[in-house]
A and B are shown apart, each in its own frame.
Chain A
Amino acid sequence: MFQISEIIKTTNLTKVYGQQKSVDHLNITVNQGEIYGFLGRNGAGKTTTIRMLLGLIKPTSGQIELFGENLFKNHKGILRRIGSMVEVPGFYENLTARENLLINAKIIGVHKKNAIEEALEIVDLHHETKKLVGKYSLGMKQRLGIARALLHYPELLILDEPTNGLDPIGIKEMRNLIQSLAKERNITIFVSSHILSEIEQLADHMGIIHEGKLLEEIAFESLRKRNRKYLEFQVSNDNKAAMLLESHFGISDYEVHDEGNIRVYSHLGSQGKLNKVFVENDIDVLKIKVSEDNLEDYFAKLVGGGAIG
């Protein structure tokens, strides 16, 4: 039978700094082949989680399994299968990109001769032969960070806000790059961001972290399904319109929003009928809209207050 293997699995993963639970009983699961977006506002605990996944900091409590193995039992073997970039990637600034990658290649034992060249080509830095990394722009460093993470052909890429500081074109290129890596090299990708739209365009699965807690873990596919469609009427008298909905059509599944906006979640496709009744009862209908619940609103509701992104 076809079996999906779990690449990342955390169980009650917790990190406490002083009084603060930066990561709080986090249970996430990332399956093979997924692009998993890890979404959270600033300070939500994304980087802390990633540092724990990579063994840089020790969890206060909880378990981490990577490739089905306990991270703390086979730390070295597991990390060899992962490529990562945590926050801003750091380099030896007195060296060139090639020299920086050579350090990793030597230590990891990458023997393939043109591995460095290949990695630089993927991120389009192979023309920068002389420039020292200290003279690189932020975007170039970010790309070099990806090249370095790819150098040893990892099965899992863990990227912490890889589009941080990139311009719109750079962001688009990074997105294409990540998606093509997932598709062509069959790499599982765990990528964090604080920008919802970015995750939405990039990932197929998503975990939302807020104040250290996982609020939801969901596939975008089912999220879109779950996002209900509605009819929206902008009317001159929302009280009266609401009464009519209830008395005339028996509709109770509706919401009144500010300035005379009514959302009706049932009777989709019957906007003509509803409109007619409104007009017959001296209600001006200024606008009718058929739409989906906006993702942004959904998240704003989820994290209670200001929207993500």
Chain B
Amino acid sequence: MADLLFTEFLKLKRSSMFLISLLGSAVAPFVVVIATFIHEPATPFQDLFYNVNLYTVLIIGVPLYGVVTTYLFNREYTENTLKNLLTIPVSRVSFIISKTLLLFLWIMMLSIIAWGLTLFLGMLTQFDGLSSSLLLDSLKQFSTGGILLFVLSTPIILVTLVTKNYVPTIIFTVVITLINVMAGNSEHRGLFPWAAAGDISNQTLPPTYPVEYSYIIIATTALIGFISMFVYFKKTDIH
């Protein structure tokens, strides 16, 4: 598996997707920090983190990580390399696991970058209220958001594997984002896995339902996606 993961990294050499995803993750920190600096420079540092994480998890994250997911899996189809891998042979299970592992690292990296950039830009524009406990808490918020979005990426991987195309994945993730936005003020939003992920990471889950409900819904969504993508990929013909 270590060798397989190494090759996954090698495949990213000179890849523009890496840079594009970095830019994507930088959008929320820039917009939030600069807009706040212009309109309400007295805002506490904590709110910067809160807002950036909110936008990252609820708005930017799902489509951005969706595109990364599609890139990782889909390029083996578009560049016609999957048949080589599977005949060397790489087992279909190892293939999915190594890709998923890389996706995890990638999502976490982008989450941490969003966090670091918020910190850097916030310090540059001299917001108040930075403390070591805030640093730790916010880092926890960002990583929780990243982990939850990673866990919830299994249905998106499934869509990618089945359709082998960017368009359906993008539509799927945009629909998710749209629901996130529409559910933003609803007391029931804890029942929608992606919205719940945002609330859990920022600790703002509405008290309408027990928190376990949200966890169970997220876990179920992830598990169904996980099992279906394995079953599908194990069985499918590679053309």
Residues of A bordering B, CB below 8 Å: 51, 54-58, 75-76, 79-80, 82, 84, 86-95, 99, 102-104, 106-109, 132, 148, 152
Please report the C-alpha to C-alpha distance between residue A93 and residue B80 in the assembled complex, in whole angstroms: 10
Given the known inter-chain contacts A91-B81, A92-B81, please indicate yes or no for A108 contacting B88, CB distance below 8 A: yes
> Which residues on the A side are within 8 Å of B84 (C-beta)?
89-90, 104, 148
B79–A93 touching, CB < 8 Å: yes
The 5 closest A-B pairs by CB, nearest first: A90-B80, A57-B237, A79-B89, A56-B238, A90-B81
> Which residues on the A side are within 8 Å of B133 (C-beta)?
none
Q: How many residues of B contact A (CB 8 A)?
A: 27
Encoded as 1 (CB less than 8 Å from any A CB) or 0, chain B from 47 to 90 comes to: 00000000000000000000000000001000111111111111
Encoded as 1 (CB less than 8 Å from any A CB) or 0, chain B from 9 to 29 comes to: 011011100000000000000
Q: Which of B7, B80, B82 contacts A107 (CB 8 A)?
A: B7
> Which residues on the B side are within 8 Å of A94 (C-beta)?
11, 13-15
Please report the C-alpha to C-alpha distance between residue A45 and residue B237 in the assembled complex, in whole angstroms: 15
B89–A76 touching, CB < 8 Å: yes
Please report the C-alpha to C-alpha distance between residue A106 and residue B13 in the assembled complex, in whole angstroms: 16
Residues of B bordering A, CB below 8 Å: 3-4, 6-7, 10-11, 13-15, 75, 79-91, 235, 237-239
Given the known inter-chain contacts A90-B83, A90-B84, please indicate yes or no for A107 contacting B3, CB distance below 8 A: yes
How many contacts between A and B, using CB within 8 angstroms? 82
> Which residues on the A side are within 8 Å of B239 (C-beta)?
51, 56-57
Q: Which of B14, B79, B81, B87 contacts A54 (CB 8 A)?
A: B87
Given the known inter-chain contacts A76-B91, A79-B87, A95-B10, please indicate yes or no for A56 contacting B79, CB distance below 8 A: no
> Which residues on the B side are within 8 Å of A102 (C-beta)?
7, 10
Residue of A nearest to B79 (CB): A90
A82–B87 touching, CB < 8 Å: yes
> Which residues on the A side are within 8 Å of B85 (C-beta)?
107
Please, could you name 18 A-B residue pairs with CB atoms under 8 Å apart, sorted by A?
A51-B83, A56-B86, A56-B87, A56-B238, A56-B239, A58-B237, A76-B91, A79-B87, A80-B88, A84-B87, A86-B83, A89-B84, A90-B80, A92-B81, A94-B14, A95-B13, A103-B10, A107-B85
B13–A99 touching, CB < 8 Å: yes
